[in-house]
């Protein structure tokens, strides 16, 4: 009953992590949705290790997956002799290969994540909590980090049962996350990697950020890939990033750097700025495509469970 155990642990972890007087990010409604998400995530029994995640890769697992016709080069030990006798055609038995996953979720908590309605950070921490919770419930190693100009807080990957409840620690850290500081995702991801010991057959890094990094998206993606990780990018967007609430003569001030720019806001500026923002998003998506990175661009006003389901259904994280 791992899901139920994990669900009970999640509730307890959320209760431990939350402040009873302050507004809580992970409230009862959040937890109910989290339980539902966990049930939706299909699981398989673990292989040689303790992972319970089933893999669609055909391998040396014991769980039957499917048949396919024999092709030269296949292991003859995999031939299904009964089927050969019955159909007089060779088929091999495909088995699901068990894998041992290390999931590293990095949440951008720079000041720019505070914009939007609701703020982008709110969706980011909820999605991170959900992914971490689903991973922990699958007995994967899960680590979470808050990143900005560097690795601000890091919880190295651990399994659910290692020491004090990992879920509790993750929830507490995400509960306290605030959008402050500058953005330097390249440096931050390197620091996270340096503080996380490598283990498992598969390493997956999920970066949740608005990707408003002066250095652009390419360096950070390359840095993540250089650490031999599979990378999933969840880009949280907000309409407020590209729209100014005032007209006329304004001074724009960067919330992270304090840099200012004079600007006269007109309809033409608004129109152009919208196009520029769309181009930015397209650029991030293009870089991800080129680098083989799964990319999800999700507006901040989308419900977190819808966002998580979209990520899960697209695959690439939990196979």
Partner 1 sequence: MAAGLVFAGLSAGAVVALGVSGGVALTTLYLLQPRRRRVVVPFVGLWLSSPGDSLADRLGRRLRRFASFALQLTILGLVLLAAGDVHRRGEQAAARSVLILIDRSASMQATDEAGSRLERARTLARQIIAGLGQEDRALVATFGGEVWPLTGLESDHGRLADAVDGVSASDETGDLAGALSSLSVEAPLLRGHPHPTAVVISDFAGGGQAGATWQAFARALGPEIAPTFVSVGRRRNNVGIVAFSGRRLSADPSSVEAELVLAAQSFRDTPSAVTLTITAGPQRTPVARRMLRLEAGARAVTTFSDLAVADDRLQAVLEDTGDDLALDDRAYAVLPRAPPVTVLVVGDRNLYLEGALLGLEISGALRVDRLPAAALEASRTRWAAHDVVIFDGVTPQPAPSAGAFLYLDPHGPGNPWPERAGEVADPVVTNVLRAHPLLQQVSLSDLNVTAARRLTLRPGDLAVAAAAQQALIVARSGPTLRQVAVAFDIKRSDLPLRSAFPLFIANTISWLSRQAPPAPLSFVAGATARIPVPPERGALSGDQVEVRLPEGRVLRVPVIDDVLTVSLAHVGLVAVRDLKGRVLVHAAVNLASAAESDLGPRTPPVGRQQQDPPGVVGDGAPAPTRRPWWVAMVLVALALALLEWVTFHRRLTV
Give me the least distance between CB of 203 and partner 1, in Å please. 30
Q: Which of 34, 51, 111, 144 binds partner 1 (CB under 8 A)?
A: 111
Dihedral angle sign, alpha carbons of residues 283, 289, 295, 301: positive
Query: Based on the number of CB atoms within 10 Å of its own CB, is 275 exposed (0-12), middle (13-18) or buried (19 or more)?
Result: exposed
Stretch that binds partner 1, among 59-67, 68-76, 254-262, 304-312 (CB under 8 A): 254-262
Question: Is residue 108 a contact residue for partner 1 (CB under 8 A)?
Answer: no
CA dist., res. 294 & res. 206, Å (int) = 9
Q: Which of 214, 292, 299, 315 binds partner 1 (CB under 8 A)?
A: 214
What are the residues whose beta carbons fall under 8 Å from the beta carbon of 62, sequence distance 6 or more?
Answer: 47, 95
Q: Are 212 and 183 in contact (CB under 8 A)?
A: yes
| Closest to partner 1 by CB, 69 or 249 | 249
Question: Is residue 117 a contact residue for partner 1 (CB under 8 A)?
Answer: no
Question: Is residue 259 a contact residue for partner 1 (CB under 8 A)?
Answer: yes
Question: Is residue 15 a contact residue for partner 1 (CB under 8 A)?
Answer: no
CA dist., res. 138 & res. 42, Å (int) = 9
Question: Is residue 8 a contact residue for partner 1 (CB under 8 A)?
Answer: no
89: closest CA among 114, 117, 70, 62?
70
Question: Is residue 302 a contact residue for partner 1 (CB under 8 A)?
Answer: no
| Closest to partner 1 by CB, 72 or 258 | 258
Q: How many residues does the chain have?
A: 319
Q: Which two tokens stand for residue 68?
A: 């396919």
CA dist., res. 144 & res. 170, Å (int) = 7
Q: What are phi and psi of 219, to 5 degrees?
A: -60, -40
Question: Is residue 115 a contact residue for partner 1 (CB under 8 A)?
Answer: yes
Question: Is residue 210 a contact residue for partner 1 (CB under 8 A)?
Answer: yes
Q: Which of 40, 117, 194, 252 binds partner 1 (CB under 8 A)?
A: 252
What are the residues whose beta carbons fall under 8 Å from the beta carbon of 18, sequence distance 6 or more?
Answer: 24, 26, 27, 171, 175
Q: Which of 266, 289, 299, 314 binds partner 1 (CB under 8 A)?
A: 266
Question: Is residue 149 a contact residue for partner 1 (CB under 8 A)?
Answer: no
Question: Is residue 125 a contact residue for partner 1 (CB under 8 A)?
Answer: no
Q: Are 60 and 95 in contact (CB under 8 A)?
A: yes
Question: Is residue 256 a contact residue for partner 1 (CB under 8 A)?
Answer: yes
Question: Is residue 70 a contact residue for partner 1 (CB under 8 A)?
Answer: no
| Closest to partner 1 by CB, 198 or 214 | 214
Question: Is residue 218 a contact residue for partner 1 (CB under 8 A)?
Answer: no
Question: Is residue 285 a contact residue for partner 1 (CB under 8 A)?
Answer: no
Site track for partner 1 across 157-196, x = CB under 8 A: ----------------------------------------
94: closest CA among 77, 106, 114, 110?
77
| Closest to partner 1 by CB, 73 or 258 | 258
Angle between helices 166-175 and 2-17 (to 10 degrees): 40
CA dist., res. 65 & res. 55, Å (int) = 10
| Closest to partner 1 by CB, 222 or 254 | 254
Q: Which residues of the chain form contacts with partner 1 (CB under 8 A)?
A: 111-115, 210, 212, 214, 238, 240-242, 244-257, 259-266, 268-269, 272-273, 276-277, 280
């Amino acid at each position: 009953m791992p899901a139920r155990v994990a669900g009970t642990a999640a509730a307890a972890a959320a209760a431990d992590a939350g402040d009873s007087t302050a507004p809580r990010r992970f409230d009862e409604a959040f937890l109910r949705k989290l339980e539902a998400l966990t049930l939706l995530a299909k699981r398989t029994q673990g292989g040689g290790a303790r992972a319970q995640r089933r893999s669609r890769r055909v391998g040396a697992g014991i769980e039957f997956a499917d048949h396919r016709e024999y092709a030269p080069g296949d292991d003859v030990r995999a031939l299904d002799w009964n089927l050969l006798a019955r159909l007089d055609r060779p088929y091999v038995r495909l088995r699901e290969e068990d894998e041992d996953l290390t999931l590293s979720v990095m949440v951008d908590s720079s000041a720019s994540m505070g914009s939007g309605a609701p703020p982008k950070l709110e969706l980011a921490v909820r999605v991170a909590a959900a992914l971490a919770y689903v991973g922990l419930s699958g007995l994967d190693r899960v680590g979470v980090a808050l990143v900005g100009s560097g690795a601000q807080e890091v919880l190295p990957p651990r399994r659910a049962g290692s020491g004090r409840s990992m879920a509790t620690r993750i929830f507490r850290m995400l509960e306290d996350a605030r959008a402050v500081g500058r953005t330097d995702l390249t440096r931050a991801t390197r620091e996270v990697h340096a503080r996380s010991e490598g283990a498992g057959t598969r390493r997956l890094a999920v970066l949740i950020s608005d990707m408003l990094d002066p250095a652009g998206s390419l360096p950070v993606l390359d840095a993540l890939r250089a650490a031999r990780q599979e990378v999933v990018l969840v880009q949280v967007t907000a309409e407020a990033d590209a729209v100014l609430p005032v007209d006329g003569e304004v001074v724009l001030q960067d919330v992270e750097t304090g840099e200012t720019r004079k600007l006269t806001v007109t309809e033409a500026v608004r129109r152009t700025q919208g196009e520029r923002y769309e181009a930015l998003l397209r650029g991030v998506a293009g870089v991800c495509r080129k680098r083989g990175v799964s990319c999800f661009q999700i507006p901040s006003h989308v419900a977190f469970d819808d966002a998580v389901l979209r990520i899960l259904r697209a695959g690439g994280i939990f196979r």
